[in-house]
Amino acid sequence: MEKTFNLSRREDGIAILTMDVPGETMNTLKAEFGPEISEILAEIKHDASVKGLVVISGKSDSFVAGADISMLDACTSVSAAKELSQQGHVVFNELEKLSIPVVAAINGACLGGGLELALACHLRVCTDDKKTIMGVPEVQLGLLPGGGGTQRLPRKVGITTALDMMLTGKQIRPKQALKMALVDDVVPESILLDTAIAMAKKGKSAAKVAKKSALNKVLESTSTTRDIIFDQAAKQVQKKTLGNYPAPAKIIDCVKQGMNKGMIKGLEVEASHFAELVMSPESESLRSIFFATTEMKKETGAEGAEPRKVNKALVIGGGLMGGGIASVTTTKAKIPARVKDINDKGLSNALAYAYKLLAKGVKRRHMTPAVRDNLMALMTTTTEYKGVKDADIVVEAVFEDLALKHQMVKDVERECHENTIFASNTSSLPIGQIAEAAQRPENVIGLHYFSPVEKMPLVEVIAHKTTSPETIATTVAFARKQGKTPIVVQDGAGFYVNRILAPYMNEAAQVLLSGEKVESLDKALVKFGFPVGPITLLDEVGIDVGAKIAPILTQELGERFRAPDAFDKLLADDRKGRKNGKGFYQYGNKKSKAKLVDETVYQVLGVSNQTTGSASDIAMRCVVLMLNEAVRCLDEGIIANPRDGDIGAIFGIGFPPFLGGPFRYMDSMGIATLVSKLRQYEQQHGERFTPCDKLIQMAEEGINFY
C-alpha cells in the first residue's frame, strides 16, 4: 500500500517529512497513520546525522485539513473516540519532544488536527497565498481540538486569543497568524521549503513569542485571574448558545484545567471531553451538514448537464436585493456585473453596497485598496439596455409584479443573446407563470436569494417544467461562484423555504393573538435554537412582505396558509416593521439599546389578556407545522431529498443546526411521536395541524427519512 509519509534526508542534515495521503485531494489525519509516523519519529530520534526536520504537505495547495471527519463519524463508542484523541497526543508529544528543531512548512488549508500537528512542531512558516488559512474549526462540528490544541494553542498565542479561535472556529490568514506568533514567518510559496530548512538550521530559539496586552499579561498570570477570563467566556458562551451546543463549555474547561493543573491533566481532560462530543447528537448533526454540503458541491443540479461559462451578468434592479446580488457577483464570483435600474438612486445603492462590502475587507486587511478598486471596476451601471448584449445571465430583482416581470423577460430576449439566462429573484411567483412571456422558456429559471444577500448562504434554484438542464447547471454554478449553497427546487408557490416558513409564522401569529407576549414568543423559539424569534423575523423581513406572500400561498396551496385577519390591522396602522420604524418592536429609541416591544401593538391587534404558555409548547406548536409542510414538499417533489430539505431550512431560515435540519430532527423525534403530537394539536387548535399523508404512512410503516 502506498505510504502517506515520506522521509528524505539532505546532505546538510535536515530531513524532510512529506505528508501526502494517496488518492485524496486533501491530507487528513487517520488513526492508521499512528504506527507509520511513530516509526519514522523513532528512526529520526536515533539518527544522529539528522540535525533538523521539516514537515510539509505533498498536496499542491493544502497542508492538512484536520482529522478525517468520516473516521470520527465511524466511532461507535466514547472509549473508541477517546482512544483516537490519545493516539494523537502520543504522536504529537513524540514530535514535540524531539531534540532537533522541527519546522512545519504550511501552504494552503491548515485546520483542526492539521494546525495541532503544526503546533507540535517547534516552529512554523507559512506562505502568503490566499489559500493559506489556519484555524481550529472543530467547534463548528460540535467538537473541540482533540489533538492537543486546547493545550498548545493557549500556550502559544495566549489564552484569550486561543479561546477566541477555538470558540468561533475562525480562519486566520497569514499576516494575522504572524502577528499573533502562530507562525514565525510568512513567505512566498517559491521559498517555503528553503525558508523552513533555514529555520531548522537556526534552531528552536527562533520561535516567536506572542505579544500580550498588559491586561492579558496580568489576567493570564495566576489561576485566580485566569478564572476571570474563563468565567467571562463561559457567560458569553451560555448567552450565545443557550445551552444548545455542549462543545464551547468543554473547550473552556479543557483550557482552564490545563492552564491551572498542567498540560498532562489538560490532555486527559481534552481526550475525555473530545470523546463525549464525538458521540453527542449535536456533533452528529453538525457533521452531517459538513458531509451534505461537501457532497452538494459535486452536483451540477441537473443530471448530465454541463454548465455554460458566465462571463458577464446583468442585474435588473439596484435595490436591497439587486444591490446585494450585484455585489456578490463582483466581489465574490469576480464576474463583471452591469446593474440596470430606472433611476440613479438604485444604481448608486448597488455601487454603495459593493463598496461597503469591499471596504470591510480592506479594514480587516483581507485585501488591499488596489484589489478593492479592481473589484469595484467590475460593476457598471446603466438606466437603459445598453452594454447588455453579452450578458450570459440576467438576474431580475424588481417588484413582485407578474406583468413587470413579463416585460423584463421580453426586454432581455430582445436586448441580450439567445443563450442568456433569465433568472428571477421572485420570492413567491411561480416561475412557470413568469416564463409564459418567453420565446425561449428553456432559459427562464428562478434564483431566489435571501436577505442580507452577502450573509445568507442559501439560494433556491427553481426550475419550471421546460427549464433546460443547461440553464439549471449554469445557474447552480453561477450561484456557487458567488459563494452560495444552492438547492434545486421545483416550481410552486413559495418554492421550499418560504413555503415551510409560512405555517410556522402563521402559528406564531395565532399564539400571539391567543394572548402570548411578543417577547415570550420570540424567546421560546430562540431557546429552541432559531437565531431570532418569528416576530422579530417578521419585523426584519417586513410585515408588508409577509402580507403579500400569504395570499399567493393560500390561493395556490390552500387555507392552511391564510394569515389571521387581525394582522391586516397592522398594515392599516402603517406597521411594516424595521423598514419604516414601526412594527412589533420599537425602533430608533435613543434612550435604550434594549430591544423593546411596542406595547401599542396589542391594542392594534385587539389583544388584551396576557397569558404565558410554556416555552417548549409555544415552540413545538410553531415548529411541527414547519415539519409537516417540509414533508409535503418532499412528497410533492418540491425538494429532491431530505438532505436538500435540511440544508435549505438550516441555511435559509436558520433552522437549528444542532438538530441537523427538519428531516433529521423528525427522525430523532420519531415519526410516530410527531404524528401523535400533530393529532394532539389538531384536537386542541384545529385542522391546520392535521398530519400529512406521507407522515401518517411513514409512522404506520415505521420508516425514517435517513
* 142 is a contact residue toward ligand L74YYOSM (CB under 6 A): no
CB 633 within 8 A of CB 540: no
* 591 is a contact residue toward ligand L74YYOSM (CB under 6 A): no
Question: Could you tell me the smallest distance in angstroms from the CB atom of residue 487 to ligand L74YYOSM?
Answer: 17
669 alpha carbon, distance to own chain's centre? 24
Choice between 293 and 690, CB closer to ligand L74YYOSM: 293
Residues 6+ apart with CB under 8 A from 670: none
Interface residue with ligand L74YYOSM among 3, 6, 9, 25 (CB under 6 A) is: 25
Interface residue with ligand L74YYOSM among 239, 297, 309, 455 (CB under 6 A) is: 297
* 138 is a contact residue toward ligand L74YYOSM (CB under 6 A): yes
Interface residue with ligand L74YYOSM among 19, 125, 141, 192 (CB under 6 A) is: 141
Q: Which one from 270, 282, 415, 460 is the annotated catalytic residue?
A: 460
Interface residue with ligand L74YYOSM among 112, 324, 494, 577 (CB under 6 A) is: 112
Q: What is the spatial distance between Cα 110 and Cα 112, in angstroms, rounded to a whole number? A: 7
Measure the CA angle with vertex 652, ends 651 and 654; round to 5°.
65
* 109 is a contact residue toward ligand L74YYOSM (CB under 6 A): yes
Choice between 112 and 642, CB closer to ligand L74YYOSM: 112
Q: What is the DSSP letter of 380?
A: E
Interface residue with ligand L74YYOSM among 106, 116, 487, 524 (CB under 6 A) is: 116
Interface residue with ligand L74YYOSM among 21, 56, 111, 180 (CB under 6 A) is: 111
Number of residues that bind ligand L74YYOSM (CB under 6 A): 25
Question: Could you tell me the smallest distance in angstroms from the CB atom of residue 542 to ligand L74YYOSM?
Answer: 34
229 alpha carbon, distance to own chain's centre? 28
Element (H, E) at 554: helix 543-557
* 147 is a contact residue toward ligand L74YYOSM (CB under 6 A): yes
Q: Which stretch binds ligand L74YYOSM (CB under 6 A): 23-31, 312-320, 476-484, 567-575?
A: 23-31
Q: What is the DSSP string of 274-308?
A: HHHHHTSHHHHHHHHHHHHHHHHTT--SSTTPPPP
* 113 is a contact residue toward ligand L74YYOSM (CB under 6 A): yes
Q: Side chain identity at 334, as an amino acid letter?
A: K
* 453 is a contact residue toward ligand L74YYOSM (CB under 6 A): no
Choice between 78 and 596, CB closer to ligand L74YYOSM: 78
Q: Catalytic: 94?
A: no
Q: What is the spatial distance between Cα 405 and Cα 395, in angstroms, rounded to a whole number? A: 11
For the stretch 375-395, what's the b/e string if a residue is b when 16 or more beta carbons lie within 10 angstroms of its beta carbon?
A: beebbbbeeebeebeebbbbb
Question: Could you tell me the smallest distance in angstroms from the CB atom of residue 9 to ligand L74YYOSM?
Answer: 29
Q: Which stretch binds ligand L74YYOSM (CB under 6 A): 136-144, 320-328, 516-524, 631-639?
A: 136-144
Measure the CA angle with vertex 157, ends 155 and 162; round to 5°.
90
Q: What is the spatial distance between Cα 463 and Cα 301, in angstroms, rounded to a whole number? A: 10
Facing residues of 458 across strands?
Answer: 485
Question: Could you tell me the smallest distance in angstroms from the CB atom of residue 193 to ligand L74YYOSM?
Answer: 22
Question: Could you tell me the smallest distance in angstroms from the CB atom of residue 322 to ligand L74YYOSM?
Answer: 28
Site residues (CB under 6 A) for ligand L74YYOSM, limited to 397-426: none
Question: Could you tell me the smallest distance in angstroms from the CB atom of residue 133 to ligand L74YYOSM?
Answer: 7
Question: Could you tell me the smallest distance in angstroms from the CB atom of residue 319 to ligand L74YYOSM?
Answer: 31
What does the CA dihedral 48, 50, 52, 58 come to, rounded to 10 degrees? -150
Indicate the angle between helix axes 247-261 and 149-157, nearest 10 degrees: 70
Q: Is the peptide bond before 452 cis (omega within 30 degrees of 0)?
A: yes
Q: What is the spatial distance between Cα 336 and Cα 422, in angstroms, rounded to a whole number? A: 17
Interface residue with ligand L74YYOSM among 213, 223, 294, 680 (CB under 6 A) is: 294
* 486 is a contact residue toward ligand L74YYOSM (CB under 6 A): no
Residues 6+ apart with CB under 8 A from 98: 41, 44, 45, 53
How would you classify residue 588: left for phi > 0, otherwise alpha for psi between -120 and 50, otherwise beta?
A: left
CB 69 within 8 A of CB 113: no
* 28 is a contact residue toward ligand L74YYOSM (CB under 6 A): yes
Q: What is the spatial distance between Cα 562 and Cα 554, in angstroms, rounded to a whole number? A: 6
CB 615 within 8 A of CB 627: no
* Binding string, residues 52-91; x marks residues near ligand L74YYOSM by CB under 6 A: -------------xxxxxx-----------------x---
Q: What is the spatial distance between Cα 412 and Cα 421, in angstroms, rounded to a whole number? A: 9
Residues classed as catalytic:
460
Site residues for ligand L74YYOSM per CB under 6 A: 25-26, 28, 65-70, 88, 109, 111-113, 116, 137-138, 141, 143, 145-147, 149, 294, 297
